[in-house]
């Protein structure tokens, strides 16, 4: 009986010692606020956002979705964050780079020469919806000699 108990105790101690020799798995590094914001916009690499299927656009509180009904914005993550847009009715450039404006990671700016380029664009992302808000000031926002695009814009885009 003593022998069985000693054998059992020895086996138990051996298992405990072997188990304590295992390496702990490396902790999963926490994502930075910039990484979280980038994933909200561009997913794990590239994300397309569109008006089609229920999105909308307002300018100065008026619905102008019909002018942008086929608008699409594709955001790419990576060391050089790029974007492309289609059917923007001359508001966005066809392509360029994007970057975060400031250190809160809740605003972006786009490169280019169209009216939305260089403006701070506030964004909020919730599930499958991306909301962009920005202002095109009156001077310098002419297209073909008219103030066609000046105003406060809100784009509600859906994940494609």
Secondary element (H or E) of residue 20 = helix 2-20
Task: Please name the residues in contact with 109: beta carbons below 8 A apart, sequence gap of 6 or more.
Answer: 98, 99, 100, 101, 117, 118, 119, 120, 121
**For 101, what's the count of Cα atoms within 13 Å in the CB-facing half-sphere?**
14
State the pTM of this model: 0.78
Fold of 32-159: Lipocalin (2.40.128)
Residue-level pLDDT, tens digit, the chain, 160 residues: 555 655 655 666 566 665 666 666 778 889 999 999 999 999 989 999 999 999 999 999 999 999 999 999 999 998 889 999 999 988 999 999 999 998 899 999 999 999 999 999 999 999 899 999 999 987 655 554 444 688 999 999 999 9
Q: Which two tokens stand for residue 79?
A: 């060391």
Break the chain into its structural domains and give their ranges: 32-159
Percent of the chain that is helix, strand, coil (3-state, to 5): 20, 35, 45
């Amino acid at each position: 009986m003593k022998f069985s108990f000693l054998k059992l105790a020895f086996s138990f101690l051996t298992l405990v010692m072997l188990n304590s020799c295992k390496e702990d798995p490396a902790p999963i590094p926490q994502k930075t606020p910039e990484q979280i914001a980038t994933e909200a916009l561009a997913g794990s690499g590239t994300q397309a956002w569109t008006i089609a299927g229920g999105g909308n656009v307002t300018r100065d509180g008026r619905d102008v979705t019909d002018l942008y009904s086929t608008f699409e914005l594709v955001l790419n993550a990576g060391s050089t964050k790029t974007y492309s847009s289609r059917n923007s009715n001359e508001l966005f450039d066809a392509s360029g780079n994007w970057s975060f404006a400031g250190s809160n990671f809740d605003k972006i700016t786009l490169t280019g020469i169209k009216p939305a380029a260089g403006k701070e664009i506030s964004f909020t992302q919730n599930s499958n919806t991306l909301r962009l808000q920005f202002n095109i000031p009156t001077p310098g926002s002419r297209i073909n000699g008219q103030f066609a695009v000046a105003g406060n814009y809100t784009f509600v885009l859906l994940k494609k």
